[in-house]
Amino acid sequence: MQPYILALDQGTTSSRAIIFDQQGSIVSLAQKEFQQIYPQPGWVEHDPTDIWSTQVAVAAEAIVKAGLSSREIAAIGITNQRETTIVWDRKTGEPVYNAIVWQDRRTAAFCDQLRAQGHAGTIQQKTGLIVDAYFSATKVKWVLDNVKGARDRANAGELAFGTVDSWLIWNLTSGNVHATDVTNASRTMLYNIHSLDWDDELLQLLDIPKSMLPVVKNSSEVFGNTATQLFSADLPIAGVAGDQQAALFGQMCTKKGMVKNTYGTGCFMLMNIGDQPIVSRNNLVTTIAWKIGNEVQYALEGSIFIGGAVVQWLRDGLGIIRSSADVESLAQKVPDTGGVYLVPAFAGLGAPHWNQYARGTMVGITRGTDAAHIARAALESIAYQTMDVLKAMEADAGLPITELRVDGGATANNLLMQIQADVLNATVVRPEITEVTAIGAAYLAGLAVGVWKSPDEIQQQWKINQSFKANTSIDTTSMIKGWQRAVKAAKAWAEE
């Protein structure tokens, strides 16, 4: 009987479920969007019950669409939006507050305080992370400090904290398993990536009781079996990884020096740096790529907060395109941006700038600027931000990068991919299967239950759809200089 893997891909704006066969082909896919909650500027929340109900709904839909019964599914793999923080009651399973999303900036002032007190070096040394409101630790502290009675309940051992993977595992196993994997743990700012354990000193610094924390497991092992009416059989949950690490694995970047960039709401670039963590000197974060068996692989990561979201803004905010796909044809109406630069620092600037107060800026506008110039500038902004991260990575790793593997929704935009190759002066490679996040989770789950014997066997399934080579006749030097000036303007605007 052909074994199938069910991948649950819980993202920032939607929950998806994809069923893969043993050849790595997609058998069925279901997706459901859910509500984004913005209680005040800079705050972003989700209702945890929405996350769970949409994820359950699409899992059921994908199984039905595939014409399968639960018994034909060998395992479940989970991949998730990372850093998003949920705190719930251990007895009832009820969340004590909404999920605080990775994009949320409410703890920025507290992060400034941690830096001012001189904790940034220790935190980076232990966790590989930069002190920022992006990570989970300060979000957990906020919930304990601001939700009535939460701290007392946490101290009494009544509350559980988890990232989205833990929340799904808890619900899938009816509260029998409270666990996470090393990749998600390494994004909390509470996990020591050297000793591979929760760090007591950091827990004390942030005043977070250890009793709240999940057990940390490998990315590829059986976490437990489902115990819900959803499936007719109890299925093993056998692979878990944060979305970007899952994408790195799905892109088969299993050798040191290989790099992928995912173009989603934000952009996330990861480079496999092998079995030894490097502490970045260029404002990147060091993170765990995955742990399979006893082997840990590490990665350097640069996060760009606004990637594809800049195209959504053109659609919803400015109304200059009807659908996100229209941006390519609009941008192609002009040969260049006419000197316009758009810095989409809508939620501050991520790597390598880490300026949480920078705001979106458009410069170089003249009377001749039209919607096409702005659309092209928006696409170029994604490519330039990616370039900034890639240059920082090259400097940290001491390796020149000649190939970038790409995935995510915006990679369907050939114009963007060509601009990307030009500004990087490197080859951009788009694989045949662009659902690399979900397939990464499926591969990790399948390895744990023997659907695939080794990553080398999986390697055979990775195939190229299209390569974009740099056009050397374009003068990108002046374009890049203009971008650097525009970024300075975005930072200057944020200064008092």
195 is in an annotated binding site: no
The alpha carbon dihedral of 449, 453, 456, 459 has a sign of negative
413 is in an annotated binding site: yes
384 is in an annotated binding site: no
83 is in an annotated binding site: yes
430 is in an annotated binding site: no
Q: Are 81 and 241 in contact (CB under 8 A)?
A: no
- 250 closest CA partner among 13, 484, 18: 18
- The stretches of 15-163 forming alpha helices (DSSP H) are 48-66, 108-116, 120-127, 136-146, 150-155
409 is in an annotated binding site: yes
12 is in an annotated binding site: yes
CA end-to-end distance (rounded Å), the chain: 66
The Cα 211–Cα 189 span in angstroms is: 17
- Transcribe 173-197 into DSSP letters: TTTS--EEEHHHHTTTT-EETTTTE
244 is in an annotated binding site: yes
Local structure of residue 98 (DSSP, 8 states): P
What values do phi and psi take at 348, rounded to 5? 85, 180
- 219 closest CA partner among 176, 192, 249, 194: 249
Quickly count: other Cβ atoms within 10 Å of residue 223's Cβ.
25
The Cα 280–Cα 393 span in angstroms is: 8
13 is in an annotated binding site: yes
- The continuous run of DSSP H or E covering 399 comes out as none
SS3 readout for 404-448: EEEECHHHHCHHHHHHHHHHHCCEEEEECCCCHHHHHHHHHHHHH
The Cα 165–Cα 158 span in angstroms is: 20
Give Cβ neighbours of residue 256 (< 8 Å, ≥ 6 apart).
Answer: 272, 273, 274
Pairing of strands 259-263, 236-242: unpaired
201 is in an annotated binding site: no
CA of 37: how far to CAs of 12, 229, 243, 444, in Å? 11, 29, 21, 32
14 is in an annotated binding site: yes
In the numeric block, which tokens belong to residue 338? Answer: 């006419």
The Cα 395–Cα 13 span in angstroms is: 33
Which amino acids are annotated as binding site for ATP, given as ranges?
12-14, 265, 308, 312, 409
Q: Which residues are annotated as a binding site for glycerol?
A: 82-83, 134, 243-244
Residues at the binding site are 12-14, 16, 82-83, 134, 243-244, 265, 308, 312, 409, 413
Residues in the annotated binding site for sn-glycerol 3-phosphate: 12, 82-83, 134, 243
Q: Which residues carry a binding-site annotation for ADP? A: 12, 16, 265, 308, 409, 413
